[in-house]
Structure 1
């Protein structure tokens, strides 16, 4: 079953806030309580856990868009405080609690239960080849409780899309930090203002921008050229195309129902909480 690109992209917009509640305060506090030193320890422990005791080099390769050395500040240190299995369970509990808190009465609604079921059908139906993080998540048990089940499904769909996105970046010769610069520009920000890279040494970030400028993707004042904007749009479109097979299992009316069911849930999640 083939669905329109617009619907595939709409699913991305809806699952993103649901999946990323995992980076909000409640899960963060849970990781700090078991010995994590800071937010990023919990981030890497929770997100990398489905890969098992993978080295920093492997996590860096799979996550793709962190600067050299960033992963190694946390992996494998975190595995001296928590096992991957414990991190998976902690992340799920904390994320479900955060989502439940954010959406209020929607947590117990029939609409959420139906959305969780439909999203899960999609989330476990996509091919795993070439998608390491998605494959690791697919090996985990599916939660039975509806809110946890919905968060888990959204996370699967997000990481499935993310693995595909990384493949598209590689195919276009865009490195991880370069991808963040392009994202910043797409959001109308300067590279040094973007949250994921603003902490990098100025000379290091300037070198990345200079490299994009040399390729004709960024102009003299650090904004998109027409070529830069075109490649960013092409990458996003191809990413959506690679994400689409996850939804082939759903009939058109089921995907429409899923979108309608997710919209009030996603809208209830505060934008600044993750």
Structure 2
């Protein structure tokens, strides 16, 4: 997240061959995300900013964002609808923003879109399937929302592949973050956005309230052991750091040493491991 110390923390702890995804908060807006993306790109990182469609007010604003990105060698983005209650302009869905970029001549060569192994609280499974089918022709990867059951993730990835969607699946995985850290992050992103985040991530909330808290190692080991994972086009991870950057990177390195191959290989290419 584009907080005050994020740049320093990334530079101090994250290797340049690990791509970095930068989310958008409603409190700070898209500009803060693009500012940080520019600075990290200048350090040599492969940067992947979020572009939430519902927070982009006009075509002119979209052109300005894209021009800033391209001027700094950034041609990747993770495109989501975003959680804003009302769209700021005409882009009320990820698909509309992707189509707008298509009309601009596809200036971004690498686009990621969302996948929902456990469904969505406010969108039917049929509508999710339709949205995924219409977005994936433009996409380089599908990044899943956080899910805490390896079998559910693998089955969803397999079912997606069986429907003819062969875009690589990148599994969204929370890093080893504490309950206290999550509470601080929730406060920093604004009350409305944090409430919606927790509403969407009820599994995360339950895990954090369980004695002992959540550790991602078991989930990843189960996922790596499932024979269905490769058949479902699972090709990498996006690790949600919640800005616990130093601790997450230490965990990632230790796990990579103890579980060879499960965390992929350094990037590029994009379909491996990224930190958010």
TM-score, scaled relative to structure 2: 0.32
Higher normalized contact order (CA 8 Å, seq sep 6+, divided by chain length): 1
As a proportion of its length, which structure holds more strand? 2
As a proportion of its length, which structure holds more helix? 1
Q: Which has the larger radius of gyration?
A: 1
TM-score, scaled relative to structure 1: 0.32
